[in-house]
Amino acid sequence: MSGDTYLAYDYPLLSAFWTMLVFFLWVMWFVLLFRIVVDIFRDDELSGWAKAGWLVFCIVLPFLGVFVYVIARGKNMGHREIKQAREQQQAFDSYVRETAKGSAPTSSVDELAKLSEIRARGDITDEEFNRAKQMVLSGSHH
């Protein structure tokens, strides 16, 4: 090797940069691979044989399989991900609605018991307790 030829490893900072770049690209490769595997299973339009074929293609020839999948089916990956996120949000919203609807309103006895506990802990004064108790008993607490 001549004196004019320099490698990245002749400069420690450049060596660290290349190491971080390679590590970053390696991590990004696995993120992309796992996203594609998840998308293969998420897609309801694919038959079982098509899913198995894409999965084998991505496992046996990972680089080629992933790039071909992104080219052939990548456009709809985002649409499928958004659709699943919306479905999850709708399911969560309906669960919250059902749970909120199912919970019975607290009775004034329960509220008085809670107020009593709060006063016993010293979080509110006797005057605040009496004011809150009057509000509960008069029914204007909602």
**12-60 pLDDT per residue, tens:** 778 888 889 999 999 999 999 999 998 898 888 889 999 999 999 988 9
pLDDT of residue 15: 81
Residue reference for tokens 């309906």: 94
pLDDT score at 28: 94
Indicate the helix (H) or strand (E) that contains 14.
Answer: helix 12-42
- For 76-100, write each residue's pLDDT tens digit: 888 888 888 898 888 888 888 888 7
pLDDT of residue 106: 65
Q: What is the pLDDT of residue 53?
A: 92
Task: Please tell me the distance from the alpha carbon of residue 136 to that of residue 120, in angstroms, as a whole number.
Answer: 18
CA 137 – CA 8 distance, rounded (Å)? 80
Give the Cα separation of 28 and 34 in Å (integer): 10
